[in-house]
């Protein structure tokens, strides 16, 4: 089963916790055991798994990426969002999660983050559920 989660970002760079939305799709799809693939079809956004118990972690990740890949630099891509393309490539466009007994298998402190690098925008996050045999 494939579904789409709409993500509306409010800042140029933002880490949006989408764990609950993905878990809802697992429940809605009736998947008990298998895999859940979350995929971001955008070249200036990504998805990652990291700590979501402390919001400072997402801020630290964003600030570190901003220092490593500044918004203004000698980029050849002239649309003004070259840094967003680099950050999205570094973070990646998909994550694969195990599902057991109808729940995402995540560590105690883990959550799934939609990573916006060129917002604010209305984005899509695709979720594909794969049943175990």
Where are the domains positioned within the chain?
2-131
CA 83 to chain centre: 17
Fold of 2-131: Jelly Rolls (2.60.120)
Say if CB 94 and CB 130 are below 8 A apart.
Answer: no
Other Cβ atoms less than 10 A from the Cβ of 123: the count is 20
Q: What does pLDDT average to over the chain?
A: 96
Query: What global pTM score does this model have?
Result: 0.95
Could you tell me the end-to-end alpha-carbon distance of the chain, in angstroms, rounded to an integer? 15
If DSSP codes are grouped into helix, strand and coil, which group holds residue 69? coil
Sequence-ordered strand ranges (E) for the chain: 2-8, 14-17, 34-39, 45-51, 94-100, 103-104, 110-116, 122-131
Question: Is it the case that residue 133 has pLDDT exceeding 90?
Answer: no
Model confidence band, residue 1 (pLDDT cutoffs 50, 70, 90): confident
């Amino acid at each position: 089963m494939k579904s789409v989660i709409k993500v509306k970002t409010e800042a140029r760079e933002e880490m949006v916790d989408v764990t609950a939305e993905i878990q809802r799709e697992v429940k809605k799809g009736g998947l008990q055991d298998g895999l859940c693939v979350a995929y971001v079809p955008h070249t200036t956004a990504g998805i990652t798994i990291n700590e979501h118990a402390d919001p400072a972690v997402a801020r630290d990740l964003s600030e570190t990426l901003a220092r490593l890949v500044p918004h203004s630099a000698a980029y050849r891509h002239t649309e003004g969002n070259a840094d967003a393309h680099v950050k999205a490539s570094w973070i990646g466009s998909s994550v694969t999660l195990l599902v057991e007994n109808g729940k995402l298998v995540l560590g105690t402190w883990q959550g799934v983050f939609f990573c916006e690098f060129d917002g604010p925008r209305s984005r899509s996050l695709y979720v594909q559920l794969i049943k175990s045999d």
